[in-house]
Amino acid sequence: MTRGAAKKVTIYLNEDTPFHGGTLYEAILEFLLHKGVAGATATRCMAGFGGHHRMHTPKIELLAEHLPVRVEFVETAEKVEEILPTLYDMVNDGLIEVQDTTVIKVADRDRQAAQPKRPHERRQGPATLMRIFLGEADKWHGEPLYDAIVKKLRLMDIAGATVSRGILGYGAKGHTHKQSFLHLSRDMPVMIAVVDTPEKIQAATGAVEEMLEDGLIVLSGVEAIRLVHSLRAAEAADG
């Protein structure tokens, strides 16, 4: 699983729909696990009705059986294509739904946990350096603007960003930023430096421009050497 376009499959079933001596939802989960699907979740629902138009609800004892179960999973389009025929065959009483979705983040704590030190991989090429100049006291929806910008850049999958605080300066606001004993809050100049491919920086520039009220964005061409671990490099190659 990587970031980007994917398919989300939802299967609506009864919790006691039989399947070869067991229940269907368990059989489906086992099948998905066997097929190496990234993850699947079965949820027992509160109440509902389906194709038989009979209400299933835990409130009335007579109807408390056959509660609805929903099995969901997200996978790449190819993988869904591969397993859908079997699912179609398995679900003899229920409903299968496929929708387009976008994967924003796939985080795996175990994989990120301290890996043995591996040699880094070197990638060199032309890149763009973007420098954003703003004030430390600038806010964006109540949080520091520099914080919001870094989070936004991370969401956009920009390679990296560094925020540095200057010790003196002036800029678009026309006042000198300096530290004084009289002021408890600080409004020092802040610079965010970002290096990535020209295309990605162009996208980032647009996003940052929207957030920046008054400030300065400076772009320059640089030669970049990225030292990355091969795990990340392999992921990038996959995506």
Return the residue of 232, 234, 236, 239 that touches another protein, per CB under 8 A.
232
Question: Counting contacts by CB under 8 A, is residue 117 touching another protein?
Answer: yes
Return the residue of 37, 130, 146, 215 that touches another protein, per CB under 8 A.
146
Sign of CA dihedral 76, 43, 87, 99: negative
Minimum CB–partner distance for residue 112 and another protein (Å):
6
**How is 87-145 classified by DSSP, letter by letter?**
HHHH-SSSEEEEEEEEE-----HHHHS-PPP--EEEEEEEEEEEEEEEETT-EETTEEH
**Could you tell me how far CA 124 lies from the centroid of its own chain?**
27
Which span (19-27, 63-71, 154-162, 206-214) binds another protein, by CB under 8 A?
A: 154-162
Residues 119-138 within binding reach of another protein (CB under 8 A):
120, 122, 127, 129
- CB-nearer residue toward another protein: 8 or 131: 131
Task: Report how far residue 195's alpha carbon sits from residue 161's, in angstroms, rounded to the nearest whole number.
Answer: 7
Closest-CA residue to 165 (of 134, 144, 143, 138): 134
**How is 38-80 classified by DSSP, letter by letter?**
S-EEEEE-SSB--TT---B-TTSGGG-SS-EEEEEEEE-HHHH
For β-strands 120-135 and 216-229, DSSP reports them as antiparallel
Which string of x and - marks every residue 184-223 that binds another protein (by CB under 8 A)? Answer: ------x--x-x------------------------xxxx
Residues 160-179 within binding reach of another protein (CB under 8 A):
160-165
Task: Report how far residue 125's alpha carbon sits from residue 132's, in angstroms, rounded to the nearest whole number.
Answer: 22
- CB-nearer residue toward another protein: 99 or 112: 112
Which span (50-58, 61-69, 156-164, 211-219) binds another protein, by CB under 8 A?
A: 156-164
Report phi then psi at 216, rounded to 5: -140, 140
Residue type at 46 in one-letter notation: M
Question: Counting contacts by CB under 8 A, is residue 227 touching another protein?
Answer: yes
Question: Counting contacts by CB under 8 A, is residue 3 touching another protein?
Answer: no
Question: Counting contacts by CB under 8 A, is residue 237 touching another protein?
Answer: no
β-bridge partners, 124:
225
Return the residue of 30, 65, 81, 147 that touches another protein, per CB under 8 A.
147
Q: Under the rule (CB under 8 A), what is the footprint of another protein?
A: 107, 112, 117, 120, 122, 127, 129, 146-147, 150, 154, 159-165, 190, 193, 195, 220-229, 232
